[in-house]
């Protein structure tokens, strides 16, 4: 059985684990023969949305573009994983309303945890004032009110978070249920 197209929208603070979990899911799904694409916010901003700033207006334009591409792919049978901070609830809901199969995944970790990880060194720059308008520091993050799945990455392993998302996809019939060789998901 083939997978259905779906957009998995990972939202959360920088360093919360969106990309890491999306990559883990990608490995699982590709191993089961699913068609998968990842639209990573950091990469999108170097091409599709190159030149956009981090003002609310530009962030919204960026999210609309990503949502547009995700919708094109997912309606053609691709599992699209978007990993983008996407801090504003209204634009996330707008994208949800224009996308046929849409799952919102809230990648939740306390700011202190994200900041201590500081994967890209951006929190240090934001604290030093070198970067302005950084989400969580001097720009808002609006939590999802009704996410389809919430991953608590300060409490769960990457594989546990990935398994939760895949289980939800399976229960919605978006991917076939596949047991791995050792019987665990």
Show which residues are catalytic: 86
The maximal CA–CA distance of the chain, rounded, in angstroms, is 52
Closest distance between ligand ADP and the C-beta of residue 2, in Å? 28
Here the tokens at position 17 are 């684990």
Binding mask 81-110 for ligand ADP (x = CB under 6 A): --x-----------------------x---
Q: State the Cα–Cα distance between residues 133 and 7, nearest whole angstrom.
A: 28
Q: Is 14 in the site for ligand ADP (CB under 6 A)?
A: yes
Binding status of residue 157 toward ligand ADP by CB under 6 A: yes
SS3 state at 128: helix
| Residues 19-48 interacting with ligand ADP (rule: CB under 6 A) | 19-21
Considering the complex, what minimum distance in angstroms separates the CB of residue 19 from ligand ADP? 3
CB 160 → ligand ADP: shortest distance, Å?
Answer: 7
Q: Is 62 a residue that touches ligand ADP (CB under 6 A)?
A: no
Q: Between residues 142 and 176, which has the closer beta carbon with respect to ligand ADP? A: 142
139-146: long-range contacts, CB 8 A cutoff, minimum separation 24: 139/54, 139/87, 140/87, 140/88, 141/13, 141/85, 141/87, 142/87, 142/88, 142/89, 143/89, 143/106, 143/108, 144/11, 144/89, 144/92, 144/104, 144/106, 145/89, 146/104
Phi, psi of 88, deg, nearest 5: -105, 125
Nearer to ligand ADP, 70 or 107 (CB): 107
By beta carbon distance, the residue nearest ligand ADP is 17
Task: Provide, rounded to whole angstroms, the least separation between the CB of residue 157 and ligand ADP.
Answer: 5
Binding site for ligand ADP (CB under 6 A): 12, 14-21, 83, 107, 117, 119, 153, 156-158, 161
């Amino acid at each position: 059985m083939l997978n259905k197209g779906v957009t998995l929208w990972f939202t959360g603070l920088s360093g919360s684990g969106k990309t890491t979990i999306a990559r883990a899911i990608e490995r699982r799904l590709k191993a089961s023969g699913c068609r998968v694409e990842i639209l990573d916010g950091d990469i999108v901003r170097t091409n599709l949305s190159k030149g956009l700033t981090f003002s609310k207006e530009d962030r919204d334009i960026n999210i609309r573009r990503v949502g547009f591409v995700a919708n094109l792919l997912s309606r053609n049978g691709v599992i699209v994983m978007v990993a983008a901070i996407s801090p504003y609830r209204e634009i996330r809901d707008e994208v949800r309303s224009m996308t046929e199969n849409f799952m919102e995944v809230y990648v939740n970790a306390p700011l202190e945890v994200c900041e201590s990880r500081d994967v890209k060194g951006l929190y240090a720059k934001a604290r030093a004032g070198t970067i302005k308008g950084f989400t969580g520091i001097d720009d808002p993050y609006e939590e999802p009110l009704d996410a389809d799945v919430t991953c608590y990455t300060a409490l769960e392993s990457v594989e546990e978070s990935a398994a939760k998302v895949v289980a939800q996809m399976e229960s919605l019939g978006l991917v076939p249920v596949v047991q791995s060789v050792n019987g665990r998901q």
